[in-house]
């Protein structure tokens, strides 16, 4: 018979069986739709966060033809990418400076430019005072207003320099109405004439839009110049302007980008991030595919079994095996396509309605245009996704189809089951896989440790170590997957185990257990689905709840305030000039000591505790570069011992540097690095941030580390040093090095070789860093400091809160003269709950669907039970028991392996310790199975009509 | 002139299981059915009636002996050829109908033809003819679960002789039907067979068996008796 005819019949039967078994088909479609929904939502969100040229033009330029910013002093080496207002050096050598900047009006004398300057000013707010962004210049120019960059929400535009627009959230922070007046701390008053949304910021940004020069300009602000008329500069002109230190966004260049060979610059850290993305993809693709394939596979197994009787009838009518197989595969494709399509539609709808909220993770805050330029549908990807779902349908129904096409016609028509015994062979296979998986995980962890500690004298050794580490990470992942597959292979034995356990609880449990084992092929897919989904979910949860997030929230709970003697935080005079320290101190004499401020802080009651941080002056760090008398102090360096002893850590910190390779090649001999102690290339950031040594007693140590740690305190009092990161510790020792300022100067080319003094101290690493511990990376006791003749000065007041504090609180405190560095962070707990929610819903959906399918199959048995008088309570308890037992076992095994792999991944890859989010883990492990049991208990029908088992499926 | 032999079983043996569980379902059964001839098989439950029929229909393979349908020796045929024989030559009626629930009545009947490569329209026309001859063409668009048991069986019979079939096998086709319906079903079968088919009817019902040309009695897997029935024209009516 013709292939075509065959397919027509196959499609017809497949279509019909989808239509006629609505609930079952719906569940199968849903099981495919759920993962497709997640993937297509992600793809659509990704597409919607990338701007098109027209969106970039709209939001960056409005009706303007070009936008300019002076970023560096003139330099032949400077260039930009056509679509990015950011200058970079073609050959990065760090010679670009912000010394003498050109005057753009002289460079472009004939061009009429509108300037908008972004700066800060201290305003009186509803609860006190606070720093608020100010955009000076005609932000509401008709070329921008309602043309893309800004939208007037209410009121009218300013007509004089005493009128301003504000963002709605700023209006709230000021606590005023339209038409009322706001004022700066220094007494300047402005009438708020309207509210405006600026799309370059999120709606949570507090901004005041004022006329040029209406508020004294503060240094450190940035100015943008908009060209409203005439021709926009050509790419040639842009290249010339770049060398003047001016970055340009030109309408004509954006519309007609130059050919690629002229785009010389890498995107910001493009090379590194591309690799990162690639390796993340390598991780996620198999991880994400595993549940999809298993879920879809089990769905099609149900689908194929549902069809066996139809297939047997067809076989008895003389249908060939090919035809039978085609029918199954066709219905697989059909369901796959439907599932894919509905998943894609739902995913796209989710982003269409909640895209902006997903980006900001808040319903209240709208993102910037850059974060979410517009709702874009990635048609290509989505069509591929739908087709892939069809292919997945075909592939995952192929095996069941082969099996179904070889049906024993008579046996099937008689309604015989062909369920085998639990085969011993699968038990052995499962055991082998489990042991192999375990061995691979252990071996990979050992490999990682080896790669971390292997001696690295030459550059090639680093490359080899990097390769080994990557291999080890993949190994850990693969080990986990092998273990999970082992469980899946041994699912018959697991069901046996479940039966053995639950049959102890009474008659209906016994029956539930027997049913589980007897109809193994009905329930095994449920178990596999739960196993895999929990494996992936638990691993993501344990990895995502990593130390980094923990640290971020700890940081946000520590707020620092600088003591009075630092001039750079002084508020400006009304004329914009900096007041002298003397003038400031004279005006607020009581604020001059750190101790006084600490007392103020503790009196507010907003903090749990506070301490004055006394530290060695930091040579580079502006805050500590002068004492209260304005003199430079002797400079102290705390050397990171790894620079000398532990090349691995250098490699670690250099991962952030794009010059890593070049540096490594140049300095293949590790000994050579000692010459770079004060400024090792690639380690620059860390070295600059971590130069001071804190001199503190035990109580202050407790405040800084925000915990009580007897070991740390003992180290401190015994004359040792407490460090907050393993990078400062080498075999229990840390090196303190300091430099005589008089000998470490410009005249001596900052050569530290003669100026340095150094001493090794016994060290103790406090695990789990907090923000200030990174800055004051080491703590010694006052006694040790005295013995070593190290002087320390009050540099800050540090206070701990229970939770990150709001602007209301900081404004209030600033109003009382307490100035903060305000940290904010995403609550890692909230993130973990988010992951838990998503994983929980996914797991619940997946298990409910799989269980629902199995229960539909079991309906005839349930009817028979009802017919012979089993009460509803018996049936509902039986179903609930099965739901709980299957979900919980799958959750415990899959989740256990997932957490174990997540743990080994995090602990071997990270220098910090892992904290498991226990409440979330327990919710997933116990809550979801209980909910599943409850759902099936509730939805057990009261009256089941007995139906004679007819020759209809 | 004798008509050609369309069904021939030669010393067919069939055993199920082995060792202690061994069951001799057939112990050397032989028979011949010619074109235009309907034979009935009667016997106690478990005597091997169904086994004989499934072997004749190529649904089961004999342990020994030969089965010839329309000059093909079934045991020598490959899977594919057997499937073709089933869809082109043999019509099989099961006691429990075995209709496909997702297809309408007319689609069920047209299925064997479509499986054989006939285009849908022609297959449907032939199916409608077949339904008409069973007097149920008005049910064409219904689904199997929307009609009665007797109607279902008539659909199954319509399916069994749709198209150019030569052999009709029916295993207690009227087991689930009342006597009036049973008679109309057997009447339709007889009519088709008179058009040149060979048929085997397995039944408990002597009244139905009387429609056959010969009645074979089977006991413990062996054909033990053969009764010739007299043709009584009034039974065939004016049809
Ligand atoms: N698939 C099978 N496996 C084992 N024994 C079977 C099978 N099919 C039939 N039998 C046995 O073969 C004998 C004949 O069965 P069958 O042909 O169905 O009898 P009938 O249709 O006359 O009632 C019976 O004893 C029955 O138990
Ligand atoms: Mg029988």
Q: What is the mean pLDDT of residues A47-74?
A: 91
At A263, the pLDDT band (50, 70, 90 cuts) reads very low
A183 in the same domain as A219: yes
- A296-352 confidence digits (pLDDT tens): 777 777 766 667 777 788 888 888 888 788 877 888 888 889 889 999 999 999 999
Query: Which residues have CB less than 5 Å away from ligand 2 (the ion)?
Result: B 50
Q: What is the mean pLDDT of residues A366-374?
A: 89
Q: Which ligand is nearest to the CA of A414?
A: 1
A942 in the same domain as A795: no
The structural domain count of chain B equals 1
Considering only the beta carbons, identify the residue of B59, B116, B144 that sits closest to A316. B59
Provide the phi-psi class of A128: left if phi over 0, else alpha when psi is between -120 and 50, else beta: left
> Is B22 part of a structural domain of the chain?
yes
Q: What is the mean pLDDT of residues A544-555?
A: 60
> Is B127 part of a structural domain of the chain?
no
pLDDT score of B175 more than 60: yes
What DSSP letter does each residue of A552-573 carry, written as one string?
HHHHHHEEEE--TT-GGGPPPP
Residue A388 CA to residue A390 CA, distance in Å, equals 5
Residue A288: its pLDDT value, please?
62
> Is A245 part of a structural domain of the chain?
yes
The reply to whether residue B94 touches residue A413, judged by beta carbons under 8 angstroms, is yes
> Is B121 part of a structural domain of the chain?
no
At A193, the pLDDT band (50, 70, 90 cuts) reads very high
- A129-166 confidence digits (pLDDT tens): 888 999 999 999 999 999 999 999 999 999 988 999 99
> Is B161 part of a structural domain of the chain?
no
| Helix (H) or strand (E) segment spanning residue A197 | strand A189-198
> Is B43 part of a structural domain of the chain?
yes
Contact by Cβ (8 Å): A102, A244: yes
* Closest Cα to atom 26 of ligand 1: B46
The rounded Å distance from CA B175 to ligand 2 centre is: 10
Percent of chain A with pLDDT over 70: 66
At A420, the pLDDT band (50, 70, 90 cuts) reads very low
- A433-469 confidence digits (pLDDT tens): 999 998 998 888 888 878 766 655 444 555 676 678 7
Name the least confident of A152-166, A273-287, B38-52, B184-198.
A273-287
Contact by Cβ (8 Å): A324, A315: yes
> Is A34 part of a structural domain of the chain?
no
The rounded Å distance from CA B46 to ligand 1 centre is: 6
At A673, the pLDDT band (50, 70, 90 cuts) reads very low
Write out the residue range of the structural domain in which residue A711 sits: 563-645+688-815
Give the residue on B whose Cα is nearest the Cα of A21. B102
Write out the residue range of the structural domain in which residue B47 sits: 5-94+166-235
Residue A363: its pLDDT value, please?
77
Nearest C-alpha of chain A: how many angstroms from B4?
Answer: 24
> Is A3 part of a structural domain of the chain?
no
> Is B133 part of a structural domain of the chain?
no
| Apex A85 CA angle, A84 and A86, nearest 5 | 90
> Is A281 part of a structural domain of the chain?
no
| Apex B92 CA angle, B97 and A8, nearest 5 | 80
> Is B71 part of a structural domain of the chain?
yes
Q: Which two tokens stand for residue A169?
A: 């959230």
The rounded Å distance from CA A570 to ligand 2 centre is: 103
pLDDT score of A667 more than 70: no
Q: Which of A195, A201, A167, A197 is nearest to A179 (CA)?
A: A195
Q: Which residues of B touch A326 (CB under 8 A)?
A: none
Give the residue on A whose Cα is nearest the Cα of B159. A317
Q: What is the mean pLDDT of residues A217-229?
A: 79
Own/partner contacts of A750-753, CB < 8 Å, gap of 24 or more, are A750/A678, A750/A679, A752/A637, A752/A677, A752/A678, A753/A675
Q: What is the mean pLDDT of residues A72-79?
A: 87
A891 in the same domain as A782: no
A857 in the same domain as A779: no
Q: Which of A896, A926, A921, A930 is nearest to A480 (CA)?
A: A896
Nearest C-alpha of chain A: how many angstroms from B236?
Answer: 29
Contact by Cβ (8 Å): A626, A568: no
| Helix (H) or strand (E) segment spanning residue A410 | helix A409-413
Provide the phi-psi class of A45: left if phi over 0, else alpha when psi is between -120 and 50, else beta: alpha
Chain B residues in contact with chain A using a Cβ-Cβ cutoff of 8 Å: 54, 57, 59-60, 79-80, 83-88, 90, 92, 94, 96-103, 107, 111-112, 114-120, 143-145, 159
Q: Which residues of A touch B98 (CB under 8 A)?
A: 312-313, 316, 413, 951
Q: Which of A830, A770, A767 is nearest to A800 (CA)?
A: A770
The reply to whether residue B115 touches residue A313, judged by beta carbons under 8 angstroms, is no
Note the ipTM here: 0.75
Query: Between residues B24 and A392, which one has the greater pLDDT?
Result: B24
The reply to whether residue A318 touches residue B90, judged by beta carbons under 8 angstroms, is yes
How many interface pairs between A and B have CB atoms less than 8 angstroms apart? Answer: 89
Residue A305: exposure state from Cβ atoms within 10 A (0-12, 13-18, ≥19): middle
pTM of the model: 0.69
Query: Between residues A196 and A864, which one has the greater pLDDT?
Result: A196
A195 in the same domain as A120: yes
Residue A523: its pLDDT value, please?
80
Residue A717 CA to residue A734 CA, distance in Å, equals 16
Residue A312: exposure state from Cβ atoms within 10 A (0-12, 13-18, ≥19): buried
A618 in the same domain as A496: no
Residue B237 CA to residue B194 CA, distance in Å, equals 13
pLDDT score of B231 more than 60: no
Name the least confident of A71-75, A428-432, A669-673, B72-76.
A669-673
Q: What is the mean pLDDT of residues A256-281?
A: 48
Residue A594 CA to residue A97 CA, distance in Å, equals 35
Contact by Cβ (8 Å): B102, A19: yes
The structural domain count of chain A equals 4
A707 in the same domain as A608: yes
The rounded Å distance from CA B20 to ligand 2 centre is: 23
Residue A562 CA to residue A566 CA, distance in Å, equals 7
Q: What is the mean pLDDT of residues B24-50?
A: 92
Nearest C-alpha of chain A: how many angstroms from B87?
Answer: 4
At A108, the pLDDT band (50, 70, 90 cuts) reads confident
* Closest Cα to atom 27 of ligand 1: B46
Residue A273: its pLDDT value, please?
35
Residue A949: its pLDDT value, please?
37
At A530, the pLDDT band (50, 70, 90 cuts) reads confident
Summary mean pLDDT of chain A: 74
Q: Which of A228, A247, A262 is the last residue of a domain?
A: A262
Q: Which of A262, A285, A310 is the last residue of a domain?
A: A262
A736: CB partners within 8 A, 6+ apart: A636, A638, A639, A693, A721, A758, A759, A760, A761, A778, A780, A788, A790
> Is A349 part of a structural domain of the chain?
no
A921 in the same domain as A795: no
HEC secondary structure over A430-476: HHHHHHHHHHHHHHHHHHHHHHHHCCCCCHHHHHHHHHHHHHHHHHH
The reply to whether residue B83 touches residue A318, judged by beta carbons under 8 angstroms, is yes
Q: Which two tokens stand for residue B60?
A: 């089961």
Please tell me which of A288-292, A739-743, A799-803, A825-829 the model is most confident about, judged by mean pLDDT. Answer: A799-803
A740 in the same domain as A641: yes
A644 strand-pairing partners: none
- B78-90 confidence digits (pLDDT tens): 877 888 888 889 9
HEC secondary structure over A840-869: HHHHHHHHHHHHHHHHHHCHHHHHHHHHCC
Nearest C-alpha of chain B: how many angstroms from A313?
Answer: 6
Q: What is the mean pLDDT of residues A505-532?
A: 77
Q: Which ligand is nearest to the CA of B49?
A: 1
Q: Which of A489, A507, A528 is the last residue of a domain?
A: A489
For an interface test with B, the pick among A317, A331, A416 (most B C-beta atoms closer than 10 Å) comes out as A317
A837 in the same domain as A778: no
How far the first Cα of chain B sits from its last, in Å, is 24
Query: Between residues A725 and B206, which one has the greater pLDDT?
Result: B206
Residue A739 CA to residue A754 CA, distance in Å, equals 9
Ligand 1, atom nearest to B44 Cα? 22
Query: Between residues A145 and B188, which one has the greater pLDDT?
Result: A145
Nearest C-alpha of chain A: how many angstroms from B100?
Answer: 6
Residue A325: its pLDDT value, please?
81
The rounded Å distance from CA A868 to ligand 1 centre is: 28
A771 in the same domain as A708: yes
Q: What is the mean pLDDT of residues A80-92?
A: 82
Torsion, Cα A419 A425 A431 A432, to 10 degrees, reads -140
| Helix (H) or strand (E) segment spanning residue A610 | strand A609-615
Q: Which two tokens stand for residue B129?
A: 């003819």
pLDDT score of B194 more than 80: yes
Nearest C-alpha of chain A: how many angstroms from B58?
Answer: 9
> Is B115 part of a structural domain of the chain?
no
pLDDT score of A680 more than 50: no
> Is A30 part of a structural domain of the chain?
no
pLDDT score of B10 more than 60: yes
Own/partner contacts of A270-279, CB < 8 Å, gap of 24 or more, are A271/A658, A272/A658, A279/A470
| Helix (H) or strand (E) segment spanning residue A663 | helix A660-666
For an interface test with B, the pick among A8, A315, A947, A951 (most B C-beta atoms closer than 10 Å) comes out as A951
Residue B48 CA to residue B29 CA, distance in Å, equals 10
The rounded Å distance from CA B14 to ligand 1 centre is: 10
Considering only the beta carbons, identify the residue of B59, B100, B117 that sits closest to A409. B59
Give the residue on A whose Cα is nearest the Cα of B101. A952
Considering only the beta carbons, identify the residue of B84, B99, B101 that sits closest to A318. B84
Q: What is the mean pLDDT of residues A559-565?
A: 58
Chain A residues in contact with chain B using a Cβ-Cβ cutoff of 8 Å: 1-2, 5, 8-9, 12-13, 16-17, 19-21, 310, 312-321, 323, 409-410, 413, 950-953
The rounded Å distance from CA A891 to ligand 1 centre is: 46
For an interface test with A, the pick among B72, B98, B105, B173 (most A C-beta atoms closer than 10 Å) comes out as B98
Q: At what angle do helices A270-306 and A379-405 cross, to 10 degrees?
A: 40
pLDDT score of A944 more than 70: no
Residue B89: which CATH number? 3.40.50.300
Considering only the beta carbons, identify the residue of A317, A410, A951 that sits closest to B111. A317
- A805-834 confidence digits (pLDDT tens): 778 888 887 777 666 666 666 555 666 676
| Helix (H) or strand (E) segment spanning residue A530 | helix A520-544
At A751, the pLDDT band (50, 70, 90 cuts) reads low
Query: Between residues A524 and A551, which one has the greater pLDDT?
Result: A524
The rounded Å distance from CA B51 to ligand 2 centre is: 7
A409: CB partners within 8 A, 6+ apart: A312, A315, A316, B59
A800 in the same domain as A832: no
Percent of chain B with pLDDT over 70: 95
Residue A419: its pLDDT value, please?
44
Strands (E) located in A728-777: 733-739, 756-765
Residue A88 CA to residue A82 CA, distance in Å, equals 12
Summary mean pLDDT of chain B: 85
Name the least confident of A71-80, A509-518, B67-76.
A509-518
* Closest Cα to atom 1 of ligand 1: B16
Query: Between residues A473 and A947, which one has the greater pLDDT?
Result: A473
β-pairing, B214-219 vs B198-202, is unpaired
Considering only the beta carbons, identify the residue of B88, B115, B144 that sits closest to A952. B144
Residue A690: its pLDDT value, please?
40
Angstrom CA distances, A780 to A613, A645, A696, A892, stand at: 12, 22, 6, 46
Contact by Cβ (8 Å): B98, B173: no
Residue A276 CA to residue A270 CA, distance in Å, equals 10
> Is A600 part of a structural domain of the chain?
yes
Percent of chain A with pLDDT over 90: 17
Residue A319: its pLDDT value, please?
81
Query: Between residues A827 and A478, which one has the greater pLDDT?
Result: A478
- A898-933 confidence digits (pLDDT tens): 888 887 777 665 544 556 677 777 888 888 888 888
HEC secondary structure over B165-230: CCEEEEECCCCCCCHHHHHHHHHHHHHHHHCCCEEEEECCCHHHHCCCCEEEEEECCEEEEEEECC
Please tell me which of A376-380, A613-617, A792-796, A879-883 the model is most confident about, judged by mean pLDDT. Answer: A376-380
Ligand 1, atom nearest to B43 Cα? 22
> Is A21 part of a structural domain of the chain?
no
Query: Between residues A153 and A734, which one has the greater pLDDT?
Result: A153
Pocket of ligand 1 (CB under 6 A): B 16-17, 23, 25, 43, 45-51
Considering only the beta carbons, identify the residue of B96, B115, B145 that sits closest to A317. B115
Query: Between residues A863 and A193, which one has the greater pLDDT?
Result: A193
Ligand 1, atom nearest to B202 Cα? 21
């Amino acid at each position: 018979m013709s292939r075509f005819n065959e397919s027509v019949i196959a499609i017809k039967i497949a279509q019909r069986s989808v239509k006629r078994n609505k609930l079952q088909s719906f569940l199968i479609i849903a099981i495919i739709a759920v993962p497709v929904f997640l993937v297509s939502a992600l793809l659509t969100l990704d597409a919607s966060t990338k701007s098109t040229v027209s969106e970039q033009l709209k939001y960056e330029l409005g009706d303007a033809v070009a936008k300019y910013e002076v970023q560096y002093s003139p330099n032949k080496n400077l260039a930009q990418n056509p679509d990015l207002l950011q200058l970079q050096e073609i050959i990065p050598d760090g010679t670009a400076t912000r010394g003498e900047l050109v005057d753009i009006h002289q460079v472009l004398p004939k061009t009429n430019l509108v300037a908008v300057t972004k700066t800060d000013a201290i305003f009186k707010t509803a609860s006190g005072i606070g720093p608020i962004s100010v955009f000076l210049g005609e932000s509401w120019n008709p070329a921008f207003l309602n043309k893309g960059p800004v939208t007037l929400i209410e009121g009218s535009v300013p007509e004089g320099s005493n009128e301003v627009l504000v963002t709605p959230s700023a209006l709230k922070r000021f606590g005023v109405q339209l038409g009322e007046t706001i004022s700066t701390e220094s007494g300047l008053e402005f009438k708020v004439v309207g509210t405006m949304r600026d799309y370059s910021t999120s709606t949570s940004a507090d901004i005041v839009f004022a006329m040029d020069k209406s508020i004294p300009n503060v240094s450190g602000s940035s100015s943008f110049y908009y060209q409203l008329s005439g021709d926009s500069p050509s790419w040639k002109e842009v290249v010339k302007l770049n060398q003047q230190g001016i970055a340009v966004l030109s309408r004509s260049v954006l519309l007609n980008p130059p050919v690629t060979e002229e785009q010389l610059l890498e995107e910001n850290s493009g090379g590194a991030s591309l690799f990162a993305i690639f390796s993340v993809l390598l991780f996620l693709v198999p991880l994400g595919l595993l549940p999809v394939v298993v879920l879809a596979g089990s769905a099609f197994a149900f689908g194929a079994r549902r069809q066996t009787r139809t297939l047997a009838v067809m076989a008895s009518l003389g249908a060939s095996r090919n035809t039978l197989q085609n029918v199954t595969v066709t219905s697989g494709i059909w369901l796959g396509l439907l599932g894919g399509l509905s998943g894609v539609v739902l995913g796209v709808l989710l982003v269409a309605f909640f895209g902006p909220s997903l980006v900001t993770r808040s319903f209240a805050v709208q993102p910037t245009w850059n974060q979410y330029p517009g709702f874009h549908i990635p048609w290509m990807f989505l069509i591929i996704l739908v087709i892939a779902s069809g292919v997945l349908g075909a592939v995952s129904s192929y095996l069941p189809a082969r099996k179904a096409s070889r049906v024993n016609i008579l046996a099937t028509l008689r309604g015989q089951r062909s369920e085998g015994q639990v085969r011993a062979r699968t038990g052995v296979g499962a055991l082998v896989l489990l042991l192999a998986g375990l061995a691979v995980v252990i071996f990979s962890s050992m490999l990682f440790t080896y790669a971390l500690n292997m001696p690295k004298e030459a550059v090639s050794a680093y490359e080899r170590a990097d390769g080994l580490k990557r291999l080890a990470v993949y190994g850990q992942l693969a080990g986990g997957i092998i273990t999970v597959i082992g469980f899946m292979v041994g699912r018959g034995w697991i069901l046996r185990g479940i039966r053995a356990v639950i049959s102890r609880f009474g008659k209906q449990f016994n029956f539930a257990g027997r049913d589980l084992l007897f109809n193994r092929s009905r329930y095994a897919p449920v178990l596999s689905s739960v196993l895999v989904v929990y494996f992936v979910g638990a691993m993501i949860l344990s990895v995502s709840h990593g130390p980094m997030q923990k640290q971020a929230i700890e940081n946000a709970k520590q707020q620092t305030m600088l003591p009075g003697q630092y001039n750079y935080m002084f508020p400006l005079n009304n004329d914009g000039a900096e007041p002298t320290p003397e003038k400031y101190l004279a005006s607020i004499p009581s604020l001059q000591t750190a101790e006084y401020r600490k007392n103020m802080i503790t009196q507010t009651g907003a903090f749990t505790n506070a301490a004055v941080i006394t530290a060695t002056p930091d040579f580079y760090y502006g805050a500590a570069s002068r004492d209260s008398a304005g003199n430079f102090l002797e400079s102290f360096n705390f050397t990171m011992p790894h620079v000398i002893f532990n090349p691995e850590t250098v490699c670690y910190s250099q991962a952030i540097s794009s010059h890593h390779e070049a540096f490594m090649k140049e300095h293949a001999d590790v000994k050579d690095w000692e010459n770079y102690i004060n400024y090792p290339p690639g380690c620059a950031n860390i070295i600059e941030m971590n130069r001071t040594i804190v001199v503190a007693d035990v109580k202050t140590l407790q405040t800084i580390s925000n915990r009580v740690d007897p070991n740390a305190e003992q180290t401190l009092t015994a004359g040792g040093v407490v460090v907050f990161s393993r990078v400062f510790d080498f075999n229990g020792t840390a090196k303190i090095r300091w430099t005589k300022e008089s000998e470490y100067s410009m005249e001596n080319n900052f050569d530290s070789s003669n100026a340095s003094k150094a001493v090794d101290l016994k060290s103790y690493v406090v695990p789990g860093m907090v923000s200030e511990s990174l800055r004051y990376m080491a703590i010694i006791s006052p006694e040790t400091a005295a013995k070593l003749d190290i002087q320390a000065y009050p540099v800050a007041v540090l206070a701990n809160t229970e939770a990150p504090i709001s602007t209301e609180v900081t404004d209030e405190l600033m109003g009382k003269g307490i100035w903060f560095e305000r940290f904010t962070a995403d609550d890692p707990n909230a993130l973990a709950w988010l992951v838990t929610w998503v994983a929980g819903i996914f797991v619940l959906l997946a298990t409910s669907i799989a269980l629902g399918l199995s229960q539909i199959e079991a309906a005839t048995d349930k009817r028979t039970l009802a017919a012979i008088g089993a009460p509803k309570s018996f049936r509902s308890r039986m179903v609930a028991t099965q739901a709980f037992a299957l979900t919980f076992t799958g959750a415990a095994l899959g989740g256990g392996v997932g957490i174990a792999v997540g743990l080994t991944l995090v602990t071997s890859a990270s220098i910090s310790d892992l904290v498991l989010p226990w409440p979330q883990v327990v919710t997933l492990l116990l809550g979801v199975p209980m909910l599943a049991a409850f759902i099936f208990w509730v939805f057990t029908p009261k009256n089941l009509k007995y139906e004679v088992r007819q020759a209809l499926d | 002139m004798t008509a050609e032999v369309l069904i021939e079983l030669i010393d067919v043996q069939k055993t199920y299981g082995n060792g202690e569980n061994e069951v001799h379902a057939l112990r050397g059964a032989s028979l011949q059915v010619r074109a235009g001839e309907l034979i009935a098989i009667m016997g106690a439950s478990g005597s091997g009636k169904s086994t004989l029929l499934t072997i004749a229909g190529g649904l089961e393979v004999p342990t020994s002996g030969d089965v010839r349908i329309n000059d093909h020796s079934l045991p020598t045929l490959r899977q594919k050829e057997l499937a073709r024989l089933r869809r082109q030559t043999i019509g099989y009626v099961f006691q429990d109908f075995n209709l496909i629930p997702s297809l309408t009545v007319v689609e069920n009947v047209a299925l064997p033809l479509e499986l054989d490569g006939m285009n849908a329209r022609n297959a449907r026309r032939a199916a409608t003819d077949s339904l008409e001859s069973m007097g149920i063409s008005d049910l064409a668009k219904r689904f199997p679960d929307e009609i009665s048991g007797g109607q279902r069986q008539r659909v199954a019979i319509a399916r069994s002789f749709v198209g150019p079939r030569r052999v009709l096998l029916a295993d207690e086709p009227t087991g689930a039907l009342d006597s009036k319906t049973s008679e109309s079903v057997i009447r339709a079968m007889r009519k088709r067979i008179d058009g040149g088919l060979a048929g085997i009817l397995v039944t408990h019902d002597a009244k139905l068996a009387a429609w056959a040309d010969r009645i074979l009695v089977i006991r413990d897997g062996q054909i033990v008796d053969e009764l010739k029935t007299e043709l009584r024209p009034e039974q065939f009516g004016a049809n």
